[in-house]
Amino acid sequence: MHGTADLAAARRALVSYLKETESEQVALLQRFLRSPSANPPGDTRPAAAMLGGFLEAAGCPAETHAARPDLPNLVAAFDGARPGGHLVFNGHIDVFPPNDEHGWSGELRDGRLYGRGAADMKAGTMASSFAFAALHRLRDALPGRVTLTAVSDEQTGGRWGTKWLFETMGDAIRGDVLLNGEPSGINNIRFMEKGTLRFTVTVRTPGGHGGYPHLSPSAIKIAAEIVRALDSLHGFAPPLPEAVAKALGDPAAVAAHDAGLGQGASTWVRQMTFNAGVIRGGRKVNQLPDLCELECDIRYPWGLTREAVAANVARILSAFPGASWEVHENHSYPPSLAPPDDPMVRILADVVEKDLGAPRPVPCSSLGGSDSRYWRYAGVPAYLYGPSPVSMGRADENVTVAEFLHITKAHALAAFDWLASRG
Protein backbone atom coordinates (compact mmCIF):
# COMPACT_ATOMS: atom_id res chain seq x y z
CA MET A 1 0.00 0.00 0.00
CA HIS A 2 2.06 2.91 -1.25
CA GLY A 3 -0.25 5.28 -3.12
CA THR A 4 -2.40 8.19 -2.02
CA ALA A 5 -5.54 6.08 -2.33
CA ASP A 6 -4.01 3.38 -0.14
CA LEU A 7 -3.09 5.91 2.53
CA ALA A 8 -6.59 7.36 2.39
CA ALA A 9 -8.05 3.87 2.91
CA ALA A 10 -5.70 3.26 5.84
CA ARG A 11 -6.73 6.55 7.40
CA ARG A 12 -10.41 5.67 7.09
CA ALA A 13 -9.66 2.35 8.76
CA LEU A 14 -7.90 4.20 11.60
CA VAL A 15 -10.87 6.50 12.15
CA SER A 16 -13.23 3.51 12.26
CA TYR A 17 -10.99 1.57 14.64
CA LEU A 18 -10.73 4.49 17.07
CA LYS A 19 -14.51 4.83 17.07
CA GLU A 20 -15.17 1.10 17.48
CA THR A 21 -12.77 0.74 20.42
CA GLU A 22 -13.96 3.63 22.59
CA SER A 23 -15.25 1.34 25.34
CA GLU A 24 -11.95 -0.54 25.33
CA GLN A 25 -10.01 2.71 25.61
CA VAL A 26 -12.04 3.82 28.65
CA ALA A 27 -11.60 0.42 30.33
CA LEU A 28 -7.84 0.60 29.75
CA LEU A 29 -7.62 4.06 31.31
CA GLN A 30 -9.59 2.80 34.31
CA ARG A 31 -7.12 -0.06 34.76
CA PHE A 32 -4.21 2.36 34.43
CA LEU A 33 -5.71 4.67 37.06
CA ARG A 34 -6.18 1.72 39.41
CA SER A 35 -2.49 0.81 39.12
CA PRO A 36 -0.49 2.71 41.78
CA SER A 37 2.46 4.81 40.59
CA ALA A 38 2.99 7.60 43.13
CA ASN A 39 6.32 9.43 42.89
CA PRO A 40 7.41 10.04 45.56
CA PRO A 41 7.93 7.44 46.97
CA GLY A 42 8.69 6.22 43.45
CA ASP A 43 7.50 2.69 42.76
CA THR A 44 5.70 2.67 39.42
CA ARG A 45 6.01 -1.05 38.70
CA PRO A 46 2.27 -1.87 38.97
CA ALA A 47 1.28 0.81 36.43
CA ALA A 48 4.24 0.06 34.14
CA ALA A 49 3.28 -3.64 34.16
CA MET A 50 -0.30 -2.80 33.23
CA LEU A 51 0.81 -0.57 30.33
CA GLY A 52 3.41 -3.08 29.19
CA GLY A 53 0.79 -5.84 29.23
CA PHE A 54 -1.51 -3.79 27.00
CA LEU A 55 1.29 -3.22 24.46
CA GLU A 56 2.24 -6.90 24.53
CA ALA A 57 -1.36 -7.92 23.87
CA ALA A 58 -1.55 -5.40 21.02
CA GLY A 59 1.41 -7.07 19.31
CA CYS A 60 3.88 -4.24 19.90
CA PRO A 61 5.75 -5.21 23.08
CA ALA A 62 7.83 -2.63 24.90
CA GLU A 63 11.36 -3.00 26.21
CA THR A 64 12.06 -2.01 29.81
CA HIS A 65 14.91 0.41 30.38
CA ALA A 66 15.46 1.21 34.04
CA ALA A 67 18.17 3.03 35.94
CA ARG A 68 16.30 1.95 39.08
CA PRO A 69 14.21 -1.24 39.27
CA ASP A 70 11.32 0.56 40.96
CA LEU A 71 11.16 3.17 38.17
CA PRO A 72 10.91 1.23 34.90
CA ASN A 73 10.71 3.12 31.61
CA LEU A 74 8.96 1.51 28.64
CA VAL A 75 10.16 2.01 25.06
CA ALA A 76 8.40 0.52 22.05
CA ALA A 77 8.98 1.21 18.36
CA PHE A 78 8.05 -0.01 14.90
CA ASP A 79 9.04 0.75 11.33
CA GLY A 80 6.62 1.39 8.52
CA ALA A 81 6.78 -0.09 5.05
CA ARG A 82 9.27 2.43 3.68
CA PRO A 83 11.58 5.23 4.84
CA GLY A 84 10.14 8.46 6.21
CA GLY A 85 10.05 10.64 9.30
CA HIS A 86 10.45 9.44 12.87
CA LEU A 87 7.62 10.46 15.23
CA VAL A 88 7.92 9.97 18.99
CA PHE A 89 5.18 9.83 21.60
CA ASN A 90 6.15 10.60 25.19
CA GLY A 91 4.18 10.33 28.42
CA HIS A 92 4.88 9.68 32.08
CA ILE A 93 3.62 6.87 34.28
CA ASP A 94 4.43 8.43 37.65
CA VAL A 95 1.93 10.74 39.37
CA PHE A 96 1.56 12.87 42.49
CA PRO A 97 0.88 10.94 45.71
CA PRO A 98 -2.89 10.56 46.25
CA ASN A 99 -4.65 12.04 49.28
CA ASP A 100 -5.80 8.54 50.28
CA GLU A 101 -6.30 5.06 48.84
CA HIS A 102 -9.45 6.27 47.04
CA GLY A 103 -7.02 8.04 44.72
CA TRP A 104 -6.55 4.74 42.88
CA SER A 105 -10.30 4.17 42.37
CA GLY A 106 -10.57 4.79 38.63
CA GLU A 107 -14.22 5.54 39.31
CA LEU A 108 -16.44 6.37 36.32
CA ARG A 109 -19.19 8.82 37.31
CA ASP A 110 -21.28 11.22 35.25
CA GLY A 111 -19.00 11.00 32.24
CA ARG A 112 -15.79 11.53 34.20
CA LEU A 113 -12.99 9.20 35.26
CA TYR A 114 -11.59 9.92 38.73
CA GLY A 115 -8.23 9.03 40.22
CA ARG A 116 -4.75 10.33 40.85
CA GLY A 117 -3.11 11.03 37.51
CA ALA A 118 -6.37 11.23 35.55
CA ALA A 119 -5.28 14.63 34.23
CA ASP A 120 -1.54 14.55 35.00
CA MET A 121 -0.98 12.47 33.03
CA LYS A 122 -2.36 8.95 32.79
CA ALA A 123 -5.07 10.05 30.35
CA GLY A 124 -2.43 11.55 28.02
CA THR A 125 -0.05 8.60 28.38
CA MET A 126 -2.82 6.08 27.67
CA ALA A 127 -4.03 8.19 24.73
CA SER A 128 -0.54 8.15 23.19
CA SER A 129 -0.11 4.44 23.94
CA PHE A 130 -3.41 3.53 22.32
CA ALA A 131 -2.62 5.78 19.36
CA PHE A 132 0.76 4.02 19.02
CA ALA A 133 -0.91 0.59 19.06
CA ALA A 134 -3.54 1.72 16.54
CA LEU A 135 -0.84 2.98 14.15
CA HIS A 136 1.08 -0.27 14.61
CA ARG A 137 -1.91 -2.09 13.05
CA LEU A 138 -1.40 0.02 9.91
CA ARG A 139 2.38 -0.21 9.72
CA ASP A 140 2.31 -1.87 6.29
CA ALA A 141 0.63 1.26 4.91
CA LEU A 142 2.75 3.87 6.66
CA PRO A 143 6.16 5.34 5.93
CA GLY A 144 8.64 6.16 8.64
CA ARG A 145 9.10 5.07 12.23
CA VAL A 146 7.06 5.53 15.42
CA THR A 147 8.43 5.31 18.96
CA LEU A 148 6.60 5.35 22.28
CA THR A 149 8.40 6.37 25.47
CA ALA A 150 6.50 5.95 28.75
CA VAL A 151 8.69 7.06 31.63
CA SER A 152 8.59 6.74 35.41
CA ASP A 153 10.35 9.84 36.70
CA GLU A 154 8.79 13.04 35.42
CA GLN A 155 7.32 14.27 38.69
CA THR A 156 10.71 14.49 40.40
CA GLY A 157 12.68 15.99 37.53
CA GLY A 158 13.35 13.22 35.00
CA ARG A 159 16.72 12.07 36.29
CA TRP A 160 15.71 8.39 36.10
CA GLY A 161 13.19 8.88 33.28
CA THR A 162 13.44 10.83 30.04
CA LYS A 163 16.77 12.43 30.93
CA TRP A 164 18.25 9.00 31.58
CA LEU A 165 16.81 7.62 28.31
CA PHE A 166 18.45 10.43 26.36
CA GLU A 167 21.76 9.74 28.09
CA THR A 168 21.62 5.99 27.42
CA MET A 169 19.63 5.64 24.17
CA GLY A 170 20.26 8.94 22.38
CA ASP A 171 19.20 8.90 18.74
CA ALA A 172 16.97 5.84 19.22
CA ILE A 173 14.39 8.02 20.97
CA ARG A 174 15.27 11.42 19.55
CA GLY A 175 13.07 11.33 16.45
CA ASP A 176 12.07 14.21 14.18
CA VAL A 177 8.98 15.42 16.07
CA LEU A 178 7.34 14.73 19.43
CA LEU A 179 3.74 14.56 20.63
CA ASN A 180 3.02 14.58 24.36
CA GLY A 181 -0.35 14.38 26.16
CA GLU A 182 0.49 16.44 29.24
CA PRO A 183 -2.52 18.42 30.55
CA SER A 184 -2.88 21.49 28.36
CA GLY A 185 -6.53 21.83 27.40
CA ILE A 186 -7.85 20.97 23.97
CA ASN A 187 -8.15 24.61 22.91
CA ASN A 188 -4.38 25.01 22.57
CA ILE A 189 -1.11 23.37 21.44
CA ARG A 190 1.79 24.05 23.79
CA PHE A 191 5.02 24.91 22.00
CA MET A 192 7.02 26.64 24.74
CA GLU A 193 7.85 26.23 28.43
CA LYS A 194 9.46 28.46 30.97
CA GLY A 195 12.76 27.65 32.59
CA THR A 196 12.99 26.93 36.30
CA LEU A 197 15.49 27.91 38.97
CA ARG A 198 14.69 26.21 42.28
CA PHE A 199 16.83 26.85 45.34
CA THR A 200 17.01 26.88 49.13
CA VAL A 201 18.10 29.96 51.07
CA THR A 202 19.49 29.34 54.55
CA VAL A 203 19.70 32.14 57.13
CA ARG A 204 21.74 31.64 60.30
CA THR A 205 22.04 33.96 63.30
CA PRO A 206 23.24 33.48 66.92
CA GLY A 207 19.63 33.40 68.15
CA GLY A 208 18.63 33.74 71.80
CA HIS A 209 15.81 34.90 74.06
CA GLY A 210 12.92 36.74 72.37
CA GLY A 211 13.19 39.55 74.92
CA TYR A 212 16.81 40.30 73.94
CA PRO A 213 16.66 41.38 70.26
CA HIS A 214 19.75 43.56 70.85
CA LEU A 215 21.88 40.39 71.14
CA SER A 216 20.88 38.70 67.87
CA PRO A 217 18.76 39.37 64.79
CA SER A 218 15.89 37.03 64.04
CA ALA A 219 16.59 34.55 61.24
CA ILE A 220 12.89 34.57 60.34
CA LYS A 221 12.78 38.37 60.04
CA ILE A 222 15.83 38.31 57.77
CA ALA A 223 14.20 35.59 55.69
CA ALA A 224 11.09 37.74 55.35
CA GLU A 225 13.25 40.63 54.09
CA ILE A 226 14.87 38.26 51.61
CA VAL A 227 11.46 37.21 50.28
CA ARG A 228 10.54 40.85 49.72
CA ALA A 229 13.87 41.51 48.00
CA LEU A 230 13.62 38.48 45.71
CA ASP A 231 10.06 39.46 44.84
CA SER A 232 11.54 42.37 42.90
CA LEU A 233 12.26 39.83 40.15
CA HIS A 234 8.56 38.94 39.90
CA GLY A 235 7.02 40.31 36.72
CA PHE A 236 10.17 41.02 34.69
CA ALA A 237 9.46 40.48 30.97
CA PRO A 238 12.39 40.04 28.55
CA PRO A 239 12.04 40.65 24.79
CA LEU A 240 10.78 37.62 22.84
CA PRO A 241 11.73 36.44 19.34
CA GLU A 242 9.43 37.94 16.72
CA ALA A 243 7.68 34.66 15.82
CA VAL A 244 7.05 33.86 19.48
CA ALA A 245 5.83 37.35 20.32
CA LYS A 246 3.48 37.20 17.33
CA ALA A 247 2.10 33.80 18.37
CA LEU A 248 1.57 34.78 22.00
CA GLY A 249 0.12 38.16 21.07
CA ASP A 250 -2.46 36.78 18.68
CA PRO A 251 -5.92 37.56 20.10
CA ALA A 252 -6.92 33.89 19.81
CA ALA A 253 -3.82 32.87 21.77
CA VAL A 254 -4.50 35.49 24.45
CA ALA A 255 -8.04 34.18 24.84
CA ALA A 256 -6.86 30.56 24.87
CA HIS A 257 -4.27 31.22 27.60
CA ASP A 258 -6.79 32.98 29.79
CA ALA A 259 -9.52 30.41 29.19
CA GLY A 260 -7.31 27.39 29.77
CA LEU A 261 -4.95 28.65 32.48
CA GLY A 262 -6.98 31.30 34.26
CA GLN A 263 -7.54 34.99 33.64
CA GLY A 264 -4.19 36.77 33.40
CA ALA A 265 -2.21 33.76 32.15
CA SER A 266 -1.63 35.46 28.79
CA THR A 267 0.39 38.09 30.63
CA TRP A 268 2.33 35.76 32.90
CA VAL A 269 3.58 33.48 30.11
CA ARG A 270 5.80 36.40 29.10
CA GLN A 271 7.04 37.26 32.60
CA MET A 272 9.27 35.89 35.31
CA THR A 273 7.55 34.64 38.46
CA PHE A 274 8.97 34.21 41.96
CA ASN A 275 7.42 32.04 44.63
CA ALA A 276 8.66 31.33 48.17
CA GLY A 277 6.90 28.00 48.55
CA VAL A 278 8.26 26.67 51.86
CA ILE A 279 9.53 28.35 55.01
CA ARG A 280 11.01 26.53 58.00
CA GLY A 281 12.24 28.25 61.14
CA GLY A 282 11.84 28.75 64.85
CA ARG A 283 11.42 26.37 67.79
CA LYS A 284 9.49 28.33 70.40
CA VAL A 285 7.44 31.51 70.45
CA ASN A 286 9.70 33.34 72.90
CA GLN A 287 13.00 32.44 71.22
CA LEU A 288 14.88 34.42 68.62
CA PRO A 289 15.19 31.89 65.78
CA ASP A 290 18.78 31.10 64.85
CA LEU A 291 17.88 29.28 61.63
CA CYS A 292 15.37 29.80 58.82
CA GLU A 293 15.18 28.04 55.47
CA LEU A 294 13.30 29.19 52.39
CA GLU A 295 12.56 26.98 49.40
CA CYS A 296 12.09 29.20 46.38
CA ASP A 297 10.98 28.71 42.79
CA ILE A 298 11.59 31.08 39.88
CA ARG A 299 9.99 30.48 36.47
CA TYR A 300 11.53 32.49 33.66
CA PRO A 301 10.47 32.86 30.01
CA TRP A 302 12.38 32.47 26.79
CA GLY A 303 14.85 35.32 26.43
CA LEU A 304 16.51 34.79 29.81
CA THR A 305 19.30 32.38 30.73
CA ARG A 306 19.81 30.47 33.95
CA GLU A 307 23.10 32.31 34.42
CA ALA A 308 21.41 35.70 34.24
CA VAL A 309 18.65 34.69 36.66
CA ALA A 310 21.11 33.12 39.10
CA ALA A 311 23.31 36.22 38.95
CA ASN A 312 20.36 38.37 40.00
CA VAL A 313 19.55 36.05 42.88
CA ALA A 314 23.20 36.17 43.99
CA ARG A 315 23.21 39.97 43.74
CA ILE A 316 20.13 40.25 45.93
CA LEU A 317 21.37 37.77 48.53
CA SER A 318 24.75 39.50 48.77
CA ALA A 319 22.99 42.20 50.80
CA PHE A 320 22.27 39.63 53.52
CA PRO A 321 25.58 38.41 55.02
CA GLY A 322 23.93 35.71 57.12
CA ALA A 323 22.31 34.05 54.11
CA SER A 324 23.61 31.27 51.87
CA TRP A 325 21.86 29.48 49.02
CA GLU A 326 21.95 26.19 47.12
CA VAL A 327 20.37 25.38 43.76
CA HIS A 328 18.20 22.26 43.37
CA GLU A 329 19.96 20.98 40.25
CA ASN A 330 17.42 18.27 39.44
CA HIS A 331 14.62 20.84 39.22
CA SER A 332 16.45 23.71 37.55
CA TYR A 333 16.56 23.90 33.77
CA PRO A 334 16.44 26.41 30.89
CA PRO A 335 13.30 27.40 28.99
CA SER A 336 12.49 25.41 25.87
CA LEU A 337 10.94 26.45 22.58
CA ALA A 338 9.64 24.75 19.44
CA PRO A 339 8.58 26.68 16.33
CA PRO A 340 4.95 27.81 16.74
CA ASP A 341 4.51 27.50 12.96
CA ASP A 342 5.94 23.97 12.57
CA PRO A 343 3.99 21.66 10.20
CA MET A 344 2.92 19.51 13.15
CA VAL A 345 1.08 22.48 14.68
CA ARG A 346 -0.95 22.91 11.50
CA ILE A 347 -1.54 19.17 11.11
CA LEU A 348 -2.74 18.76 14.69
CA ALA A 349 -4.94 21.86 14.49
CA ASP A 350 -6.47 20.59 11.22
CA VAL A 351 -7.27 17.22 12.80
CA VAL A 352 -8.96 18.84 15.79
CA GLU A 353 -10.98 21.23 13.66
CA LYS A 354 -11.82 19.08 10.62
CA ASP A 355 -11.90 15.52 11.94
CA LEU A 356 -13.04 16.06 15.51
CA GLY A 357 -15.28 19.08 14.96
CA ALA A 358 -13.79 21.10 17.80
CA PRO A 359 -12.61 24.72 17.77
CA ARG A 360 -9.20 25.06 16.15
CA PRO A 361 -6.47 25.00 18.86
CA VAL A 362 -3.88 27.75 18.81
CA PRO A 363 -0.18 27.77 19.78
CA CYS A 364 0.31 28.62 23.46
CA SER A 365 2.99 28.53 26.16
CA SER A 366 2.99 26.39 29.28
CA LEU A 367 3.31 27.84 32.77
CA GLY A 368 4.76 24.59 34.17
CA GLY A 369 7.35 22.15 32.84
CA SER A 370 7.25 18.79 31.06
CA ASP A 371 9.59 16.20 29.61
CA SER A 372 9.07 17.68 26.15
CA ARG A 373 11.91 20.06 27.01
CA TYR A 374 14.45 17.26 26.52
CA TRP A 375 13.44 16.92 22.86
CA ARG A 376 13.47 20.68 22.36
CA TYR A 377 16.97 20.84 23.86
CA ALA A 378 17.97 18.24 21.25
CA GLY A 379 16.56 20.42 18.46
CA VAL A 380 13.39 18.36 17.95
CA PRO A 381 10.04 20.19 17.66
CA ALA A 382 7.94 18.99 20.61
CA TYR A 383 4.29 19.79 21.31
CA LEU A 384 1.79 19.16 24.08
CA TYR A 385 -1.85 18.36 23.46
CA GLY A 386 -3.71 16.88 26.41
CA PRO A 387 -6.71 17.23 28.73
CA SER A 388 -7.71 20.14 30.91
CA PRO A 389 -5.15 20.90 33.64
CA VAL A 390 -7.76 22.32 36.05
CA SER A 391 -8.10 19.29 38.34
CA MET A 392 -4.51 18.03 38.35
CA GLY A 393 -3.19 17.42 41.86
CA ARG A 394 -6.62 17.85 43.48
CA ALA A 395 -8.24 15.19 45.67
CA ASP A 396 -10.92 14.78 42.98
CA GLU A 397 -8.55 14.76 40.00
CA ASN A 398 -10.50 13.71 36.94
CA VAL A 399 -10.79 13.73 33.17
CA THR A 400 -13.93 13.64 31.08
CA VAL A 401 -14.40 10.53 28.96
CA ALA A 402 -15.12 12.73 25.95
CA GLU A 403 -11.88 14.64 26.36
CA PHE A 404 -9.81 11.48 26.78
CA LEU A 405 -11.26 9.93 23.63
CA HIS A 406 -10.73 13.24 21.79
CA ILE A 407 -7.04 13.25 22.72
CA THR A 408 -6.53 9.64 21.61
CA LYS A 409 -8.05 10.43 18.21
CA ALA A 410 -6.08 13.67 17.90
CA HIS A 411 -2.76 11.96 18.64
CA ALA A 412 -3.42 9.02 16.34
CA LEU A 413 -4.71 11.03 13.38
CA ALA A 414 -2.12 13.82 13.67
CA ALA A 415 0.66 11.24 13.85
CA PHE A 416 -0.77 9.43 10.81
CA ASP A 417 -1.01 12.65 8.78
CA TRP A 418 2.48 13.76 9.78
CA LEU A 419 3.99 10.39 8.80
CA ALA A 420 2.07 10.42 5.50
CA SER A 421 3.34 13.91 4.73
CA ARG A 422 6.96 12.84 5.26
CA GLY A 423 6.79 9.64 3.20
Per-residue pLDDT tens over the stretch 31-71: 999 999 999 998 999 999 999 999 999 999 999 999 999 99
Q: How many CB atoms lie under 10 A from the CB of residue 241?
A: 12
Peptide bond into 36 cis (omega under 30): no
Q: How far is the C-alpha of 382 from the C-alpha of 89, rounded, in Å? A: 10
Q: Which residues neighbour 167 within 8 Å (Cβ) at sequence distance 6 or greater?
A: none
H helices, E strands: number in the chain: 14, 18
pLDDT at position 3 is 67
Torsion of CA 124, 125, 128, 129, to 10 degrees: -150
Closest CA to 174 of 209, 149, 196: 149
Q: How many CB atoms lie under 10 A from the CB of residue 170?
A: 10
Strand ranges inside 159-259, DSSP E: 177-180, 188-193, 195-204, 208-209
Peptide bond into 387 cis (omega under 30): no
pLDDT at position 330 is 84
Which residues partner with 293 through β-bridges?
202, 280
Q: Domains of the chain by range and CATH? A: 4-192+335-422 (3.40.630.10), 195-236+271-331 (3.30.70.360)
Give the rounded distance of the alpha carbon of 90 from its chain centre.
10
Give the containing element (helix H, strand E) for 361: none
pLDDT at position 259 is 86
Give the containing element (helix H, strand E) for 144: strand 143-151
Signed CA dihedral, 100, 103, 104, 105: sign only: positive
Q: How many CB atoms lie under 10 A from the CB of residue 415?
A: 28
Q: How many CB atoms lie under 10 A from the CB of residue 341?
A: 12
> Each residue of 354-386: pLDDT tens digit?
999 999 999 999 988 899 999 999 999 999 999
Q: How far is the C-alpha of 197 from the C-alpha of 192, rounded, in Å? A: 17
Q: How far is the C-alpha of 99 from the C-alpha of 287, rounded, in Å? A: 35
Opening angle at CA 222, ends 218 and 226, nearest 5: 165
Q: Which residues neighbour 318 within 8 Å (Cβ) at sequence distance 6 or greater?
A: none
pLDDT at position 304 is 94
Low-confidence ranges of the chain (pLDDT < 50): 1
Q: How far is the C-alpha of 349 from the C-alpha of 358, rounded, in Å? A: 9
Which residues partner with 143 through β-bridges?
82
Bridge-based pairing of strands 177-180 and 82-92 is: parallel
pLDDT at position 1 is 41
Q: How far is the C-alpha of 97 from the C-alpha of 55, rounded, in Å? A: 26
Query: Against a cut of 0.85, is the pTM above it?
Result: yes
Q: How far is the C-alpha of 302 from the C-alpha of 315, rounded, in Å? A: 21
Opening angle at CA 387, ends 384 and 390, nearest 5: 110
